[in-house]
Amino acid sequence: MLKDLTPLLTKKFEEIRIDEYPDIKSTDRGGDEIVFIEPVHLFGRLYRIEDDVVFFSGTLEGSLKTACHRCLEPVEEEFCYDFDEVVYAPGKEDDYDLIAEPEGESIDLDEFVLNLFQLNLPAGFLCDEDCKGLCPVCGTNLNTSQCSCNDEIIDQRFAMLKDLFKEQ
Ligand SMILES: [Zn+2]
Ligand SMILES: [Zn+2]
């Protein structure tokens, strides 16, 4: 979805209000798919901070579904990110960190949203703060069942310790 900045750059308007639902269904992070359950909502305003530098202040909100970082069970979460970003600064790209490349005198709101979303992602989504994850040995989901891998590891360590004492 392209947003034309010409009305700002020609100073026809002081600002452009944005209230859009870009058509973005999913993205991914490190191979984990993130699906947007409902259309993401992007709203805020575009305005000039210098003659040809355009700023975008706004909010991105929505809800997503992905896999728990530890146990891989489905997780649903709402998100709401406030942002202040320079979106257009021809010839001044070194002064400003643009998160999406402008196309002529327009910005691509889809690309902007996807990059902004990635920048705001937490380290990992969890089904629960106390999620016990999967057993690294047998893959059992430790939230719902138990396995005896951990016991065996402890037994092995104990056996090694006993051997050490024997040697002395
Ligand atoms: Zn989990
Ligand atoms: Zn196990």
Instruction: Per-residue pLDDT tens, the chain, 168 aa: give them.
Output: 899 999 999 999 999 999 999 999 999 987 889 999 999 999 999 999 988 899 999 999 999 999 999 999 999 999 999 999 999 999 888 889 899 999 999 999 999 999 999 999 888 899 999 999 999 999 999 999 999 886 666 666 666 766 766 665
Residues, CB-to-ion distance under 5 Å, ligand 2: 135, 137-138, 140, 147, 149
pTM: 0.81
Ligand nearest to the CA of 150: 2
Could you tell me if 120 and 138 lie in one domain?
A: no
Whether 86 and 116 map to the same domain: the answer is yes
Residues 48 and 119 in one domain: yes
128 alpha carbon, closest ligand = 1
71 shares a domain with 140: no
Q: Transcribe the chain into DSSP letters.
A: -EEE-HHHHTTS-SEEEEEE-----EEEETTEEEEESS--EEEEEEEEEETTEEEEEEEEEEEEEEE-TTT--EEEEEEEEEEEEEEE-TT-TTTS--SS--BTTEEEHHHHHHHHHHHH--S---SSTT---B-TTT--BTTT---SHHHHHHHHHHHHHHHHHHH-
Q: Are residues 136 and 114 in the same domain?
A: no
Gap from CA of 37 to ligand 1 centroid (Å): 19
Residues 146 and 118 grouped into a single domain: no
**What residues make up the domain containing 118?**
2-129
Structurally, the chain folds into a number of domains equal to 2
Ligand 2 centroid–CA 71 distance in Å is: 13
